[in-house]
Structure 1
């Protein structure tokens, strides 16, 4: 009888281990970073990275402070994931550091529509073979500047029509 109780306890303990292992397999496998650990700890960054990026965005864009200690650009110095050929993957790859958790959480990230998704010195055009907006470092000559000017002009047209219509309408009532 005692042997049966020990055997039952052993089987139940294995079930707990199997269940814990099963739960951990449901979480994303986050790629290891290569640099020094964050002073605040990984858990802090996991929970607060979006608020910190918003804060830094506001300091940079609205206040003109470009000396931000932590930047999106700096993230990839330690968090660049490499492919089978040793090249950093871009955000288009499911292996990209940011995508691992964001895909798991079903969160759409739009940072890389404007920002690069690899460390400095990596030619993202060559990796992706596309002309993704986030991979453009600057408008390409006069053609690029003309395209930007044309885009802004098209955006302004509906606003002008609305202003002209409201002016015409308000003038007719007088």
Structure 2
């Protein structure tokens, strides 16, 4: 009797996990925000499933390369993520990527994971190759000006 109950529990647990995985996959798909460059692509810098599971490892590895070795411009840069996944409102203003209805914020809220990258880093594009709309919005907000926290790195240089 106990063996049958254990088997039933394991079976139900497995079924619940499979259903949850399908639901989660459908939920996460909706977080690629329309109007972003990412919405037009089939895959990120890695296959989608790999990015979902490993993006934080890629970002941490890139952080180490950048901060300790001065290597910038990797395909795993946080600025690259923002440039590709950012969306714009009707006035062509970039929407902070960490907002609950935007790419990073929505997925992190769904997964109940703290998103602290943007406590220091810019949540909208800040590089010269970003869109004219992003540059105009940054200029209006004073982003990128000397002393602006989101762009000043304690060791010098930009983020």
- Secondary structure (helix, strand or coil) at the match of 1:115 reads coil
- 1:92 Cα shift? 5.7
- Secondary structure (helix, strand or coil) at the match of 1:108 reads coil
Contact map agreement 1:60 1:66 (CA 8 A) in 2: yes
Q: TM-score, normalised by structure 1?
A: 0.53
Contact map agreement 2:86 2:94 (CA 8 A) in 1: yes
Q: Which residue of 1 aligns with 2:37?
A: 34
1:53-132 matched pairs, under 5 angstroms? 53-91=59-97, 93-120=99-126, 121=135, 122-123=137-138, 126=141
Contact map agreement 1:118 1:124 (CA 8 A) in 2: no
The number of equivalent residue pairs is 115
Contact map agreement 2:86 2:97 (CA 8 A) in 1: no
- 1:89 Cα shift? 0.7
Q: Which residue of 1 aligns with 2:151?
A: 137
What residue ranges of structure 1 are gaps of 5+ in the alignment? Answer: 1-18, 128-132, 140-174
Distance (whole Å) between structure 1 residues aligned to residue 47 and residue 100 of structure 2: 25
* CA displacement, residues 103-149 of structure 1 (integer Å, 9 cap, x when unaligned): 1011111111111011122428739xxxxx9854349xxxxxxxxxx
Q: Which residue of 2 aligns with 1:158?
A: none
Contact map agreement 1:114 1:134 (CA 8 A) in 2: no
RMSD of equivalent CA atoms: 3.5
The structure whose Rg is larger is 1
What residue ranges of structure 2 are gaps of 5+ in the alignment? Answer: 1-18, 127-134, 154-159
Distance (whole Å) between structure 2 residues aligned to residue 99 and residue 68 of structure 1: 23
Distance (whole Å) between structure 2 residues aligned to residue 134 and residue 95 of structure 1: 25
